[in-house]
Amino acid sequence: MSSKPFNAYAMAQAQFDKAADLLALDQATRDLLRQPMREYHFSLPIRMDDGTMRVFRAFRVQHNDARGPGKGGIRFHPQETVDTVRALSMWMTWKCAVVDVPLGGSKGGVICSPHSLSLREQEALCRAWVRAVARDVGPVRDVPAPDVMTNAQHMLWMLDEFETLHGGKYPGFITGKPVGMGGSRGRTEATGYGVVFTLREALKELGIRPADTTAAVQGFGNVAQYAIELYQQIGGKVICVACWDEGDQQAYTYRNKEGVDLAALRKIADRFGTLDQKKAADLGYEKLPGDAWIEQDVDILIPAALEHSITDDNVARISKRVKLIAEGANGPTTPEADHFLHERGIFVIPDFLANAGGVTCSYLEQVQSNMNYFWERDEVLGKLDVMMTAAFIAVSDMAKKRKLYMRDAAYLIAVARVAQACKDRGWA
């Protein structure tokens, strides 16, 4: 068992260091890209429904904006830490670079549990977050988006507060908005569909038909649900999903070896993706421990929940049948586990490529908002497919050419693009 505490930022820096060595980056560029350019820590005093005041800790980290305005979500999570936000902001920089959209990397977070906050309290928190950082974000500076436990309604409250403060209409300030209020059609599906666009290309490369595969999925939030939807449409079968149970404060895996019924599961899930245990049992699902998803006898694993899911503690439990892992979550695999997967010859589609559909569609939303002209869903998803496929092929070609692991190839492309932008600007 590993006794070393997990730190997402240390992991992100270790991944960067490896890429920097492969690229032989100079020291100044390493120093610039290894840590955020700016970060903000603030306290948000909120009057609760019972009249008491509570103070919430919040963050915004802007890692690098050499290629364009910062881009990155805002998380509401009780275990949020500034190191996690730093890591996610760095991964956002590489994610935007690998799909070649003209944006940089940022991330935000508030330490809170939205499950235990009323809608009014959540609105107050959203507006307070914007007030705290209003001068340092905006359509040409840093563009937030939804992330873990935030949604289109939260984004709209934030947009309204930003526009009130600045006295104008700035729909390009934030993405993930409701359709009809500056949001893009296809945005809801984008991250999950993007995972499957890259998965489809990987299966082509491996010479495997989607209809001949089964998958286990960790998570049942937005990303997981739409990944399952499109994966089933191309012929695949999902046999289990794992999700967090707020009531029991632990995760469970729900398995049906005949294949999960996505429509039925959606009906018994709350807005955070937690399944009703009794209703799942009535539908014939076995309830297993939360980490049982990783040891299922399937061809594909899709970790689509939180970081630190595949570790040196559990990686050896992965079935010998598994050929492919598509990382729908950010940072799900630790470097130690990565080494094991590489040795096993498992094809890994790294997180900042696999789940870049969200930021790619956010970019398309931003473009539409800024020009006040909106596209139909099929046009948005068509553009997304083209961009994700091109990014996958570029990474795959680099991996073959330099005989690299897919994650290392993706890092090489992304870090090289950002380093070049910094050099061209005279920053390094």
CA 139, 142, 148: angle at the middle one, nearest 5? Answer: 115
CB-based contact 380:59 (threshold 8 Å) = no
Distance between CA atoms of 379 and 361, rounded to whole angstroms?
A: 11
Helix, strand or coil, per DSSP, at residue 237:
strand
CB-based contact 380:186 (threshold 8 Å) = yes
Compute CA distances 22 → 18, 142, 343, 411, 415, whole Å: 6, 30, 19, 10, 10
What's the distance, CA 191 to chain centroid? 8
Q: Which residues are catalytic?
A: 107
Residue with tokens 């991964």: 91
Q: What secondary structure does DSSP assign to 261-324, as a single string?
A: -HHHHHHTB-TTSPBPHHHHHHTTPEEEETTGGGG-S-SEEEE-S-SS-B-TTTGGGS-TT--E
Strand order in the sheet with 53-64: 38-47, 53-64, 104-111, 70-77, 142-146
Helix, strand or coil, per DSSP, at residue 107:
strand
Q: How many CA atoms lie within 13 A of 408 on its CB side?
A: 18
Compute CA distances 76 → 79, 106, 215, whole Å: 9, 15, 29
CB-based contact 388:363 (threshold 8 Å) = no
